[in-house]
Copies of this chain bind each other. A is one copy, B any other.
Amino acid sequence: MTRTSLKDWNCSLARSLDIIGDKWAMLIVRNAFFGTTTFSGFQAELGIAKNILTNRLKHLTENGILRRLEKDGCYPRYKLTPAGWELSTVFIALLQWGDKHVPPPGGPPLQIVDRETLQPIRALALQSGDGKPLSTKEVRFAKTPADFEKR
């Protein structure tokens, strides 16, 4: 009678979906990937309710996607773990799929380009260390970040 949990399924996809299978989780990871680190940052960019955001951040932290870093006298920062970084392969695939098959209401889709070459990125191979931002493989948006996520 309770909702089925996928945690214990003998299937990696199912278990993965149990962690990042809801829309907010994936969007949070995406924004973390593109540089957001603070509570209010996620909150403003996504327009998500605070308690829900708390929930998701906690859930992602407990499942090893995010790491919560507290420096004394400073705001806590959320950064992707290596496992979190590797999720980029997933949402980039989804993003590109969406670019192709779910056209935006108006205007052309935003593009992800390499920060240096400005060439469109088709797939990412990430091998980051311990949550540090990537150097050359780092990506940005062709449009300004502000354009990107207007809620």
Residues of A within 8 A of B (CB): 4, 6, 8-23, 26-27, 30, 47-48, 64, 83, 86-87, 89-91, 93-102, 104-105, 107, 109-110, 147-151
Contact = CB atoms under 8 A, between A and B. Distances in A.
A interface, over-half SS = helix
Number of copies: 2
B94 A17 contact: yes
Given A27-B17, A89-B93, A90-B93, A99 B22 contact: no
B10 A101 contact: no
Contacts of A151: 9
Output the residue of A27, A89, A95, A97 with the most chain B CB within 10 A. A97
A12 B93 contact: no
B6 A98 contact: no
A101 to B, nearest CB: 4
Given A13-B95, A21-B26, A95-B16, A86 B100 contact: yes
